[in-house]
Structure 1
Amino acid sequence: MRRTVSPFSLVVLGLGTFLLVLAPLFAWYVQPRAAVNPVDIDTTAVYTGRGSVFDLERVETVPDQKITVTQRVRGNVEESERSGNAVWDVTTSVDTDTSLPAADPHDALSFTPHRWVLDRRTTKPVHCCEATPRIEGEAYLKFPFDVQKRSYQWWDNTLRDTVVLRYRGTEKVRGYTGYRFTGAVPPTKTGTRLVPGTLVDQPDRPQVLAEEWYSNHGVELVVDQRTGRVIHARTGPRQTLRAPGGDKDAAVLLDAEKLAFTPATQQEAVRQAERDSGRLELVGETLPVGAAVAGCVFAALGGVLVARGRKVEEGPALSGKHRSALTD
């Protein structure tokens, strides 16, 4: 008696071995290469709220105005491919109803263009490609992938410095759960500006190099854990002018306790977070686990089939006399 191995047994065993090899490749090779920041990004986030703004025509601060902040992020593909990083050009405009809709963004109450260059995998800022200002910290427009339950250094472009955002638990945005982070900015001098002396309570001086001060009533972000995408944001900026060496605000340029994502911005952010998070979960968890389980099953089944084989009975060997008789 002898055993033979069927082709089917070898196929089952080979499939199981292949899946066992494939499982760690999904987790250790494919998933890290899928978790990269895009170079062709083109998104717009809109914040709205009410507050006080300085009216240049009336030369005074006007309270209870509707304020709209529009932040557009566009990837510079050519610069990104050349540098190997993600090069994002960012514009931020602040408007009231009197400046919207604006044919030219420079007609806004405030218009700020800048460039952020970030490592595609870690999201850390990279200082190249004419990036300005020199952004620091761990996060700016988004958090790193795989967000942790800890504090992060968030870059505040108005402050031109980082702000500590502390983890405050989870929160749902349109039914989707994210990590919530909060922080605040105390009054801080950010620069100087040449203005008429009357603006800072010095009417006897035609022009004064006034001090620019900035604070924030509160920054609140809800972030997708896997992708680091911000799915909801709230901020409370306050920008003022003080006389040189002054210890109190003389003019309010902008003061809003709450500017938050519009419902449309929230919805789009959640949609993109669900899509990208689902892809990362697929290649980082679902496929590796599925491949490992299926591989174990097929490998075990194939091993049993190969070990058992198929018994075949061998006939008696023909003697030389019999063989010669058959050939005569």
Structure 2
Amino acid sequence: MRARVVGLAGIGLGGLAVVASVTAGSWVPLLPVQLPLDESFGTEALGREVTYLDPVTLAPVTSEDVATSVRVRGDEDTGAAGDRTAVWEYVSETSDADGTLVATSTTLVCLDRWTAEAVDCAGESVDGEPTDIRGLTVRFPADTERRDYDLWDTTARQPFPARFEGVERLDGRQVYRFEQEVPEQVIRSVPVPGRLVGSLEDEVFADVVHSSTRTVFVEPLSGVVVSEEESPVTALRGPDGTSGAVLLSGTSSWSEASVREALARAEDVRDERADLRTGVRWAAAGTGAALLALGALLATRRSPTQPHDAQDEPVRVPVPSA
């Protein structure tokens, strides 16, 4: 009788353990994750109707075959890198199909490994010029929230709000859509041939005017940017306010290969964060199976037949003979 009670209790506990393994995803927390110190990846964006100023002939060119590549590399050996801070360098190059380099930029940024936001450090720079980089750059934080974030614009060299616009599906994965608008503004003044701004003078100082719209898709659990589309307009403006030559304009969006690779990186981070859930799931499933098997064995086991006690036998009384 006692074995049967123990067996039934084991079956009950085993059932609870199996249920715990099945529902582990809803009650076991995800592990926190930091930005890696040795990050390394690249993306490619393909342009549509891109107009730029040829750097040699200074003639306007419109092309359907312009690509922008971004290479990101973490420098874990620099002194600024550590438990709290990651140092990443990302290099952006825009070129035409014939190899003409349209634009290039190199950014060195120190990032808080938990929030992914830029933090002060001695080496932060854009194109070798010390720059106070702020906001998010090439990565969002893990557990990205449905709210606005400040996102760095390298051309304007300042952050602008990336507004949360909703949830979408990308290759079956839930992603967050953010929209950033960089208003038209003067970012610097440069000497240029007068003809580029409608002037008869050989050389004048012209303002470089920049504006942009940008759509960013983020896998929220990992914070990995999985797709992006950008439409910049950077042009010259003469000293009298006359619109001049377009330095770069058009729309570019990530290639399918870059989207696939980014989704794979996001999945790697998700798997890393789910290690605790996986461990609990397997441990609970194994324990539940063992308890169910043991409980079933004990509950169905029959007690051995006990022999009759000798005292229970009737006493034979001898009958005296005559």
The question of a shared fold, defined as TM-score above 0.5 by the shorter chain, is answered with: yes
Flag the 1:284–1:223 CA change in 2: closer, same or farther, 3 A: farther
Matching of residues 112-191 of structure 1 within 5 Å: 112-132=105-125, 133-137=131-135, 139-191=136-188
Q: CA deviation at 1:92?
A: 0.8
Letter of the structure 1 residue corresponding to residue 177 of structure 2? R
Counterpart check, 1:109 vs 2:106:
no
Flag the 1:166–1:288 CA change in 2: closer, same or farther, 3 A: farther
Specify the SS of the correspondent of 1:99.
coil
Residues 27 and 283, structure 1, Cα contact 8 Å, conserved in 2: no
> 2:44 maps to which residue?
46
Q: CA deviation at 1:286?
A: 5.2
Matching of residues 71-82 of structure 1 within 5 Å: 71-79=70-78, 82=81
Residues 39 and 80, structure 1, Cα contact 8 Å, conserved in 2: no
Q: CA deviation at 1:64?
A: 3.4
Specify the SS of the correspondent of 1:109.
strand
Residues 165 and 179, structure 2, Cα contact 8 Å, conserved in 1: yes
Counterpart check, 1:225 vs 2:225:
no
Letter of the structure 2 residue corresponding to residue 236 of structure 1? S
Specify the SS of the correspondent of 1:188.
strand
Unaligned 5+ residue runs, structure 1? 1-5, 101-107, 300-328
Distance 2:178 2:163 in 1: 5
Residues 208 and 235, structure 2, Cα contact 8 Å, conserved in 1: yes
Residues 80 and 121, structure 2, Cα contact 8 Å, conserved in 1: no
Distance 1:77 1:70 in 2: 23
Larger helix fraction of residues: 1
Residues 155 and 163, structure 1, Cα contact 8 Å, conserved in 2: yes
> 2:211 maps to which residue?
215
Q: CA deviation at 1:187?
A: 1.1
> 1:60 maps to which residue?
59
Q: Residue 279 of structure 1: which of 272, 281, 289 is its match?
A: 272
Residues 164 and 179, structure 2, Cα contact 8 Å, conserved in 1: yes
Deviations 1:133-163 (A, max 9, x none): 32112x2101111011111111111111112
Q: CA deviation at 1:183?
A: 2.1
Q: Residue 191 of structure 2: which of 188, 194, 213 is its match?
A: 194
Deviations 1:10-52 (A, max 9, x none): xxx9xx9xxx9xx9xx967xx555x010111111111111311
Deviations 1:295-317 (A, max 9, x none): 99999xxxxxxxxxxxxxxxxxx
Residues 169 and 179, structure 1, Cα contact 8 Å, conserved in 2: yes
Q: CA deviation at 1:82?
A: 4.8
Q: CA deviation at 1:175?
A: 2.3
> 1:259 maps to which residue?
252
Distance 1:154 1:264 in 2: 24
Percentage of pairs with the same residue: 25
Q: CA deviation at 1:81?
A: 7.1
> 1:238 maps to which residue?
233
Unaligned 5+ residue runs, structure 2? 1-5, 126-130, 292-322
Distance 2:173 2:264 in 1: 9
CA RMSD of aligned residues (A): 4.2
Letter of the structure 1 residue corresponding to residue 53 of structure 2? F
Counterpart check, 1:91 vs 2:76:
no
Q: CA deviation at 1:112?
A: 1.1
Flag the 1:82–1:64 CA change in 2: closer, same or farther, 3 A: closer
Distance 1:292 1:298 in 2: 10
Q: CA deviation at 1:83?
A: 4.1
Letter of the structure 2 residue corresponding to residue 239 of structure 1? T
Flag the 1:80–1:266 CA change in 2: closer, same or farther, 3 A: farther
Residues 92 and 104, structure 2, Cα contact 8 Å, conserved in 1: yes
Give TM-score, length-normalised by structure 2. 0.75
How many residue pairs are counted as aligned between the two chains? Answer: 293
Flag the 1:274–1:248 CA change in 2: closer, same or farther, 3 A: farther
Letter of the structure 2 residue corresponding to residue 47 of structure 1? A
Distance 1:285 1:297 in 2: 18
Specify the SS of the correspondent of 1:98.
coil
Letter of the structure 2 residue corresponding to residue 48 of structure 1? L
> 2:69 maps to which residue?
70
Flag the 1:161–1:81 CA change in 2: closer, same or farther, 3 A: closer
